[in-house]
Chain A
Amino acid sequence: MSTRIGRLSGLVLLLFAALFVNLNLIALVQADDLANHPANRRVIVREYQIERGPIIVDERAIARSIETDGELRFLRTYPEGPLFAHLTGYYSVVLQRSGLEAALNEQLTGQPTEVVAQNLGELLGTRGQPGNSVELTISQAGQQAARDALAGREGAVVALDPVTGAVLVSYANPTFDPNPLSSHSPGEIRAAWDEVRDDERQPLVDRAIRETYPPGSTFKIITAAAALESGLGPDSPFPDEAVYDVPQTTANIGNLPASPCGRGGSISMQDAFRFSCNPVFARLGVELGDRALIEQAEAFGFNRPPPYELDVVASRIPQELDPPQTAQSAIGQRDVRATPMQMALIAGAVANGGELLRPHVVGRIRDPSGRQLSGPDSGRWTEGLLDGRAVSPRTAAQLQQMMVEAVERGTGGAARIDGVRVGGKTGTAQRGATPDAWFVGFAEDRIAIAVVIPDAGEGATGGRAAAPVARQVMVALLGADA
């Protein structure tokens, strides 16, 4: 019997050896993955031990951490509620993070995410170092003005500094309140989450950077730029027709109502721009050719996502267009789509003499003692073939003048501000049941702005619906500036 007992104990030894090997695998090889698994509550508890740095707009915290008595030590709160929600995002135990809370997590916690995951003992034992504070380039007054001017309508406003690329306003309606999503009660979070997620108005979608719309006539800035770059001038004459007979199709392009823009006969490009003449720009697009139009749009940043602290979807123009498509694209219809952010960048390039800038919303980052760790990341948007120059300074100056004319004596009159050189282009795109209203413009070299109000209502136009919003925001920004 003794050999059999020996064999039996050998088998048991083998089983224990298997346990030991497996234990080693878990505790050594898989340890990191397990310790940082998103479903591992330790990760969350550890993370919430850190006093996250505040996010600051105009010296006031729009996101800050408050100490609680709970197991999760710090509660993230957003004093302004929905106003900055698309920018800050939420900071949630159930939903994790979104917006800048996600993008700037390392700065806000003050340490790399991996370090947070590892230094458990230190974090539990001692009071951890608070995170860094992040100052945004956003203007409180401008942001509020955007909210007030939209007055509950769906839409988005993006304004930036044409010289630096600093984002001054980025507001989209509808929006949401990040506070319940960032609470420490999973029930409250889920209830709030279900509500915003199931809302058919889609308040979670940041229409300023995450949604594209047909730019309509605001795309004529690009068509005009391509024309000016090709050697034409603002005074170049075009036939002033009620309808442009598009080659290869019977779907011709006309004005609404179907009449010439001027007195008939001939019209200059500048006047056609001022009155937003569809037949002229459709013809211009076809005559320039699809390549010139596409290349100009891409020089302004189309077809690639702009570099930004948050993810911006790329604005699109197809890579190849037949003449009918070219004609429609030249007036911002068909398959052309743009984000408000993209159109604001274009306005910025016009306003600053032709440079395409990298937008940025983060200004200074400071450590808890107030020492500045980094400044705003301004500069030109260079990437691949993109050299950061959208148009020549000469073209930019001509475009500026054309856009100023459009505000002074054209469709953009509602954006005029006394004593300030305001330029802009309206857009009224046909997509849904009622038009999408646009205004893309600038105020001197101080503000570049884009406003979109999708589905703006029966008979709405960019000039009537969007331009007043742009004006109100620009006034607020200029006032805040002074």
Chain B
Amino acid sequence: MFAVVLTVGAGLLLGWSRQPGLSATALVTGVALAAIALVAHLTVRTGAPYADPVLLPVVMLLNGLGLVFVHRVDLATGSELAPTQTVWTAVSVGGMCAVLLFLRDVRSLGRYQYTFGFATIGLLLLPLVPGITAGIINGAQLWIDVFGMRFQPGEVAKITMMVFLAGYLERKRALLSVANQRIGPLLLPAPRHLAPVLLATAMALVILAGLRDLGSALLFFGAFLAMLYVATGRLAYPAIGGVAFAVGATIAYQLFGHVRVRVAIWLDPWSRVTDEGYQLAQSLFALGTGGLTGTGLGFGRPQDVPFSATDAIFVVIGEELGLLGSSALLLLYLVVVVRGYKIALTARDEFSTLLTTGLTTILALQTFVIIGGLTRLVPLTGITLPFVSYGGSSLLTNYLIVGLLLRVSDDSRRAVLAGPRQRRGGT
């Protein structure tokens, strides 16, 4: 595992030093990344030795790739995001290590499910609090400024929300599975069992819609439906969810001008190519120019694409590494998602299963929504590409998710591989 990470680091370094002029920065960052990877590896070896061996290297590879391309965008636009992102990588991996070292059993989180529920709402509302709010940025009010750092609490809310839902659904699973209400062809449980879940989700959605972060709202909702289905086995939930989503989407379309604009751009970006459709058009230009093999690292034009370091970093990769590179990236995400669901399958208790299912679904949907948006498969909403996009809150959250996944997998695999006697084995 360590070897894999090291190879990755070396490969990144190589690609990086091909950039003219800044090989010193590249070297420093490369070494830093290798060191971070080493720390992560050692922590996993000691803290969770039986954890899934594939997940972390793949995530580190995505992270490294992200750093390379954030640096690439820096070179094109004159920004200096890569060093900050390197620091965030260290912080995020630190957060993951902390999860692995201090959280010995994820089930203990389930005991505080309501705390997590309220924390979710609190986190989501935080950007509205005067004094720490960073105001409206790019049309949404999602950030806070604390100690000079800009942070997006809604990212962390993804985790707290999933913990709450997992805990709640674990307890009410049996009740919710019993369908005794009939609406048309659908069998439903009594409304009172469902009410708190629906309420919490509705609140989260309202808050997110109010903050104009529709991409995240979509993620929450999707993950919620997935967990509900997995917990109860009732297709009625996703079906109702689908209807609710259609209604919600229509309302959003009527209510928010920017949603209407997004849909219009999605349907026809070319007639607005110089204004609203600019980002989507530039994304498609980049991917089209990249073609099969790409223009080569450093030979694309990330300066033409708005938000090239954050939301649109996928098309920068697609342009310079071509279809081959972007497909490889897609496969890496698929590996992460498949491993995530595998961990959910093998988890030793229902809470862990539900939690890992939710967290994995969030990662999968997030990847789908942003890549699909940039390629005009779905309307474009601005969210980050996990582990790759520039952005500290997102990176930290995703690493915390990985920490939780690793902890769950360590638990279940330890039981299988080491037998019941060696519950707390070291190296």
Contact = CB atoms under 8 A, between A and B. Distances in A.
Interface of A: 1-2, 4-6, 8-9, 12-13, 15-16, 18-20, 22-24, 26-28, 30-35, 37, 39-42, 45, 120-121, 124
B175 interface: no
B292 A27 contact: yes
A6 B350 CA distance: 15
A30 B353 contact: no
Taking chain A's interface residues, is the majority helix, strand, or loop, or is none over half, making it mixed? Answer: helix
B338 interface: yes
B322 to A, nearest CB: 7
A42 B372 contact: no
Contacts of A41: 285, 301, 304
Nearest to A9: B341
Contact of B334 (A13, A18, A124): A13
Contact of A19 (B290, B323, B361, B377): B377
Contacts of B285: 34-35, 37, 39-42
B289 A42 contact: yes
B291 A35 contact: yes
Interface string B314-331: 000010001100110010
Interface residues of B, number: 47
A8 B357 contact: yes
B284 interface: yes
26 contacts: A1-B233, A4-B230, A5-B341, A8-B341, A13-B334, A15-B364, A16-B330, A16-B333, A16-B367, A18-B372, A20-B327, A22-B372, A22-B376, A22-B377, A23-B327, A23-B371, A27-B291, A27-B323, A32-B288, A37-B285, A39-B273, A40-B289, A42-B304, A120-B295, A121-B295, A121-B299
Contacts of A6: 345
A383 to B, nearest CB: 38
B288 A39 contact: no
Interface of B: 226, 229-231, 233, 270, 273-274, 281, 284-285, 287-292, 295-296, 299, 301, 304, 318, 322-323, 326-327, 330, 333-334, 337-338, 341, 344-345, 350, 353, 357, 361, 364, 367-368, 371-372, 375-377
Given A35-B291, A41-B301, A23 B274 contact: no
Given A5-B344, A22-B377, A27 B372 contact: no
Contacts of B233: 1, 4
A273 B285 CA distance: 64
Given A22-B372, A42-B304, A16 B288 contact: no
Contacts of A30: 284, 288
A57 B423 CA distance: 91
A5 B230 CA distance: 6
A19 B291 contact: no
A6 B230 CA distance: 9
Contacts of A27: 287-288, 290-292, 318, 322-323, 326
B229 to A, nearest CB: 6
B334 to A, nearest CB: 6
B353 A34 contact: no
B323 A24 contact: yes
A15 B353 CA distance: 22
Given A12-B361, A16-B368, A19-B368, A1 B291 contact: no
B296 A16 contact: no
B226 A34 contact: no
A78 to B, nearest CB: 27
A20 B330 contact: yes
A5 B353 contact: yes
A479 B290 CA distance: 58
A19 B372 contact: yes
Given A42-B289, A120-B299, A8 B372 contact: no
Contacts of A18: 372, 377
